[in-house]
Structure 1
């Protein structure tokens, strides 16, 4: 009997060694960190040694776009690899990345903010697939759980998602600036600082002429509408308040960066950094005073562009800033994780970014898509505005299902602040029609449920 047991163990050893040869994978998700505000993109008012350390050992994609500029829908896309118009309504009908990794030999863990569509972690354990988890909105708790998990002994490779809340506390920051009650989930931020310590107003502070109504329904509600005023309490702000908000937001980014720095250092001290692939991204961005906007729920760059870093010390090219590759964080995260773990991503529509980081192979993608449903808070019939965005190499096009200004086209190469809508400029008819065609192609190829009558070309 003893001889049979030994023989059985010997037969299993190859399988264990294969599992151990696979890299650990850590996904760090922050909430509301815009990709526009990073040292890697030239923003000078931040000190982020944690994010910088990740970037130094990997590739930073500056053209990363979330699938939907609000947390619940964006996170549903990242967990399922499916666009929110499908994943948000039937989230658990798609295999989660946690379940897929667990079924392919990984020890799985999720710590921090969950907020994946309307799902709850406790009631969907079998579906989400994380062996160990804690849905927490306290970054200190999330950090402690993540550090302890890294320090423990692992008999197989681990897949951990660390989901920090900040800089999302900027929502509370805005309310405090407007003398509304709120509390911070982590540490308080001092926003009442002299203006000479604050960043200047952005070049695109002004609101574009003929802004799409899909944005306008949410713009600057006053205190007679407290439901919406609490979301966007900026109607009475002057330059001082906007700049102090920008200052406070930047400090919140630095606050969460300290956690990132400590977590990466823990991996290094434990001798696990060289065998751990780290992704850094966010669920969406923040207006940060551009177009006099705070928070998310727009297709403007500040809200829709997100950080996307893939870091693997000593294994991939380091310190690369990729300014060309178009990334859909909701779709590509899932597919790239599967590729690096040598797992079939099946029928997901995301692109495998490991091809870029390994061989500089170009991704065959002319555009990326994002979605949004803007509740009709102020329009008379109260029906929502449903929109789609198309971003190509040099242009951004988006359209809503209704409104006088439902179509927008920006030359983001020459007008990065998105101040001039070109959709009615005859000189840009060719580009307008090209992006309409991209959207039609996407709707047909992805079975998108977005239906509208585009103008005849």
Structure 2
């Protein structure tokens, strides 16, 4: 059983960037070593591909719709209700851990404070963060009290500033000759039967994404820059991990690395997050736990909201109230994973859900043509063939619709009313879904 926790986090780092085929264009040796020394969850998903909902769900262990956070600027009432409730840091603090947070918070306020469950905090910003964390590990490991140190890097989120032509907060990335940049992903171009809602959001979000007029070379430079930002955060993580080794506390410390969400990285001509494409929702999840085997790979779908009960179990404490017990390192994963999203613009709102069930992925958005998407990720990991439009997959489409509906009804998710309902749905269930005000 672990005595301490070191929780490392990046922002907007998609798992695809660390997959084998990406290694030709970037090197992340410190994360690669952590993967070799622990367990790698290759199909880990954010609960919501946007900073505040994803992070709030991650530290509370509850789904975004449960905590009422589905946007980056929730109401003050929702914020205060969340801050008064149980979270992982507060639970650890109540069980005698010295809890400290450095870096980006956004869960749900922008800046972190001691009132969020910490004895010490360091503000948002990557400059000097790794060195601060190294110093804190030296001091924390010398004390008798168990510690939980959270180190949350902003990069590679600063790719957003790059795309908008703005200065990058921690230093610009030198562009490369086009011949040296990564090629466009195979799923870059608009594909048949893509969701109308996403095509619309891509067009109206030009001021957010900054990519509306880009051609192939601009996208390739984007991918080059993103890879360099991933390398930058890997280097900083290496600094922190080296400090943990020097401190003498490594053998007693549970180490976690993940991200709040991914980045489109040019797939489907998408940058940033919010869409339910794999590049945006699949995130790295690495766990190195004392006494657990090294080099383990878990390829079944899991969600980072499951980290709260997992970390509590490994540290020998009960999870916060309202969080289902479980341990990703010990228990069989849940049969289904659900990812939520909401994309807001002044003139439109798109809401969506993805259900991951084995190799199958069912996605449905709230409006538009082709709002249902069905992919077999084992055969089509880049989501290039929408099987929802093929009648021979009608049975699977109906089955996954039903599974998502059952999940929404079980968990009180109001998205139930957005799912295409079967004509033979019992009247009492339809009445439950559409109870006014709907």
TM over 0.5: yes
Shift of 1:80: 0.9
- Counterpart of 1:337? 311
- Write the mapping of 1:202-241 to structure 2, written as runs, cut at 5 A: 202-221=185-204, 228-241=205-218
Query: 397-406 or 426-435: which moved more?
Result: 397-406
- Contact 2:46–2:283 at 8 Å: present in 1 too? yes
Shift of 1:119: 6.1
- Write the mapping of 1:140-219 to structure 2, written as runs, cut at 5 A: 140-152=127-139, 153-176=142-165, 182-191=166-175, 193-219=176-202
Shift of 1:362: 2.9
- Contact 1:232–1:294 at 8 Å: present in 2 too? yes
Which residue, out of 16, 31, 35, partners 1:55? 35
- Write the mapping of 1:252-331 to structure 2, written as runs, cut at 5 A: 252-312=229-289, 315-323=291-299, 325-329=300-304, 331=305
Query: 82-91 or 108-117: which moved more?
Result: 82-91
Secondary structure of the residue aligned to 1:440 is helix
Secondary structure of the residue aligned to 1:108 is strand
Cα distance change of structure 1 residues 256 and 350 upon mapping to structure 2, 3 Å threshold:
farther
- Counterpart of 1:372? 341
Which residue, out of 443, 446, 451, partners 2:408? 443
- Contact 1:333–1:350 at 8 Å: present in 2 too? no
Which residue, out of 339, 357, 360, partners 1:392? 357
- Counterpart of 2:94? 103
Shift of 1:351: 4.0
- Counterpart of 2:429? none
Distance in 2 between residues matched to 1:263 and 1:316, nearest whole Å: 21
Cα distance change of structure 1 residues 93 and 397 upon mapping to structure 2, 3 Å threshold:
farther
- Contact 1:285–1:306 at 8 Å: present in 2 too? yes
TM, length-normalised to structure 2: 0.89
| 1:141-173 deviations in Å (ceiling 9; x for gaps) | 322221111010322110111000001111112
| 1:326-382 deviations in Å (ceiling 9; x for gaps) | 1111x2111111111111114314742120xxxxx532x2210011111144xxxx3
| 1:127-148 deviations in Å (ceiling 9; x for gaps) | x2111112312x1232222111
Distance in 2 between residues matched to 1:372 and 1:250, nearest whole Å: 25
Distance in 2 between residues matched to 1:297 and 1:43, nearest whole Å: 25
Distance in 2 between residues matched to 1:194 and 1:26, nearest whole Å: 39
- Contact 1:174–1:233 at 8 Å: present in 2 too? yes
Shift of 1:108: 0.3
- Contact 1:212–1:406 at 8 Å: present in 2 too? yes
| 1:85-125 deviations in Å (ceiling 9; x for gaps) | 23224422430111100001111000000011246433xx3
Shift of 1:321: 2.5
- Contact 2:365–2:371 at 8 Å: present in 1 too? yes
- Counterpart of 1:225? none
Shift of 1:40: 5.4
| 1:64-87 deviations in Å (ceiling 9; x for gaps) | 000000111100001111111232
Distance in 1 between residues matched to 2:84 and 2:412, nearest whole Å: 16
TM, length-normalised to structure 1: 0.85
- Contact 1:41–1:62 at 8 Å: present in 2 too? no
Give 5+ residue unaligned stretches, structure 1: 1-20, 177-181, 222-227, 356-360
- Contact 2:131–2:240 at 8 Å: present in 1 too? no
Secondary structure of the residue aligned to 2:354 is strand
Query: 157-166 or 400-409: which moved more?
Result: 400-409
